[in-house]
Structure 1
């Protein structure tokens, strides 16, 4: 991806390559449910993009189903991470040394209540663990079609969103799904503020599940099949 930075009318601006649809758009196109195969192919790329951002010293701060988009043309099967307005540095460099930002509370809440981590709801300053917890919620949302606290998100009852998130166990939230999903969520929730996540551990769990299901990494996402089916239906109607 090629980016250009500069100043326009006294403000900072960034020009990015033209991207394809957001995963949320494709999710709606597929009638609000992705198959396990599609989710696992997406998850591997989503986690890689998050790790790349973290490796650069930044956290995203507001991951949602809209902040992951697909590419176009030769990159049509590639996932991109966009919308950096809440991104922030979690590493300070002083005297040539990299130092994690300090732990803070009562920093306020911003972003999407649906996918925010428990600690962000509580007002703790964001760190890498929060991006990963948000990513897992997005993955579960794609698999299940909704999350149990979404009914309160629409009415902006944040205290009820937090209440459900803190009271529901990973095992209950991931009921009916392969055990790997509860394992990953428990891992992310257990991370300490300045822990460096084991990204490979998470991705390998999902890769092993992918292989155990005998899936092929053919990039045949659900929306491709939906599009072909609808084209065929149009031809016969």
Structure 2
């Protein structure tokens, strides 16, 4: 079931970026987004203090809003967000959360480095295999390094894994623990020690509650994907993709 979900999310991300390309958005290397807000439930706010950016997302105007290096995303006490990254990884953001995105995306290759700085709240991620890329989730006490997995992270340094592997490091001491399926880690407030163990099925299910808010049945669509190749020529292909249905 988890593998099926991963494949479906891969189809979703194709639709997201196809929609952007069909609008003929030409982005310079410095303007390439790290991710897109695919779905959200108000209130969700985007900010970037470096460029005086403030957007309160609107359901009619801001579907597919792009996220760039340095952007922050915050949800209120009833807000949810589903964020799709350029590599097809997916982050589900719970209410009362605040995260800051940092990273870079190459224009002529699949090279991408991503760090989510989780300042408040909780997220769950379906991370695609990274190859030589870096995908990290940081808090003020912990760092989770990922190569392709399904896992959750809280701002208080608690990490749990549904599938795959996550390496959790205490920022102050450098102690690192590798987590595998159905394991957890808790980094203490000082960032010195990592306590880890195994979750029961009931505990794992409880941790996963609430993340289905952004999931709906998928419907098949045929879309035209337009993009510019390395020579600057406009290309177009037609593909079958799946999009999330509306409530």
TM-score, reference length from structure 1 = 0.28
TM-score, reference length from structure 2 = 0.28
Report the structure number with the largest CA radius of gyration.
1
Q: Which of structures 1 and 2 has the larger relative contact order (alpha carbons within 8 angstroms, sep 6+)?
A: 1
More helix by share: 1
More strand by share: 2
